[in-house]
Amino acid sequence: MNFSKSKELYNEGLVNLVGAVNSPVRAFASVGGNPLFIKKAKGSRITDVDGNEYLDLVVSYGPMIIGHRHKKVQKAVNKALKNGYSFGASTKNEIKLAKIVCDAFPGMDKVRFVNSGTEAVLSGIRLARAFTGKDKIIKFAGCYHGHQDSLLVAAGSGLATLSLPGSKGVPEGAVKNTLIATYNDLESVKSHFEKHDDIAGVIIEPIGGNMGVVVPQNNFLKELKAYLQSKGALLIADEVMTGFRSTFGGAQEVLGVEADITCLGKVIGGGFPVGAYGARNEIMENVAPLGGMYQAGTLSGNPIAMAGGISTLTELKRQNPYECFDRIGSEMETILKDKAEKYGVDIVVNRFGSMMNPFFTDKPVHNFDDAQTSDTNKFATFFWEMIKNGVFLPPSQFEAWFLNTAISEKDIKIFEKAVDASMKKVAEA
């Protein structure tokens, strides 16, 4: 497989882009080699500048849930473009998408659209502090909630991939109100409450997606929510990755938990830059212009993103692909396990709905420490062999893979052939 044009663009990009990329994981630091540059995508496939076509299991890290360039989304976006790109004023479609989102999340009466998952999370945390009058937030090691200063500690895939303990430029004072707990360990949360009386809430990915896919065990989320209620603290669900992935709504609903504040990301914009945070009325009425918590943005509710979101979620609800996702996901999980066993490779496969990934370890993965037992050199070998056999994966052991509704039986056969060749290569390395 030829990657010469990607290599040329990488070298050209080094001149004016930081590392030739605009997000660190795209630099392929943990898998080696030059990053791939993409030219186009359609349905379940993505094509690089050298003309290599791949089954896409990245799907822009989740939001292309009905496949790339779906005809209904394309039509809606083209129609919106004819009316203008941005107005800095309210539009009808903001109201329409708000109703779709609120109807999908029990307990969410109002929502505020923003421009990214990072912005949704920082706003959601500010809201939790405004509502409770308390300052401290608990997060879990391995969960990534955007690159805001106060949460850029123990933050999962990006930092783990680059072997960075945190980030330069984040002052000590910025993280003084951030406490770190262990995923799937309620006692680690309780220990913080025993030491502090000013904890506003806990933020969590209902399904960990930035340390690889990590699923809550033994009613962890339910017990966490009950404990927080007893302490007058809020549960903030970061569903930037998990939103609409396991049901038409949030993973919290599948897991039997109702968060106090929910943060969402690009899936509600059909891949366009958008995020949102929402909650019940008594919480959301603290947000300006109704309350004293200020948050604003000229591009919030951008008309193009609203059109992309309405068309994507409407089509997703029509398709109702969740049983199909589970069937395809189970089939792909079995392929990974069978091929690994065939070649004597130790892996653990974690999956929840349409999110999955293998860990190259023989230890069950229930938290970030478990995830870090994975052999990242084996993953790098696996990654490049999958690329060479036509499957596009996230270039990190610690990133989730995502399904989309355009995946076909032919794609599954491509996947199976690629996994067989890749596991063989790992065994030989």
Told to judge if 144 belongs to the known catalytic residues of this protein, a careful annotator would answer yes
Q: State the Cα–Cα distance between residues 97 and 117, nearest whole angstrom.
A: 17
Q: State the Cα–Cα distance between residues 153 and 179, nearest whole angstrom.
A: 9
Sign, CA dihedral 59-64-69-71, equals positive
Told to judge if 343 belongs to the known catalytic residues of this protein, a careful annotator would answer no
Q: Which phi and psi (to 5°) does residue 330 adopt?
A: -65, -40
Task: Report in angstroms the alpha-carbon separations of 196 from 103, 177, 192.
Answer: 36, 10, 6
Of these residues, 134, 266, 339, 378, which one is catalytic?
A: 266
Evaluate whether 266 touches 273 at the Cβ level (below 8 Å).
yes
Told to judge if 238 belongs to the known catalytic residues of this protein, a careful annotator would answer yes
**Pairing verdict, β 348-352 and 45-48:** unpaired
Amino acid sitting at position 337: K
What tokens does 381 get? 């070998």
Residue 156 C-beta-side C-alpha neighbours within 13 Å: 26
What tokens does 140 get? 């879990």
- The separation between CA 98 and the C-alpha centre of its own chain, rounded to angstroms, equals 21
Of these residues, 48, 54, 56, 238, which one is catalytic?
A: 238
Residue among 91, 53, 26, 148 nearest 307 (CA) = 91
Of these residues, 144, 260, 378, 411, which one is catalytic?
A: 144
Residue among 250, 268, 276, 238 nearest 115 (CA) = 276
Q: State the Cα–Cα distance between residues 217 and 221, nearest whole angstrom.
A: 8
Task: Report in angstroms the alpha-carbon separations of 284 from 49, 82, 119, 258, 278.
Answer: 45, 33, 16, 16, 7
**Pairing verdict, β 38-42 and 45-48:** antiparallel
Q: Provide the 10 A C-beta neighbour count for residue 166.
A: 12
Longest distance between any two alpha carbons in the chain, whole Å: 63
Number of helices (H) and strands (E) in the chain: give both, helices first. 14, 14
Residues annotated catalytic, as ranges: 144, 238, 266
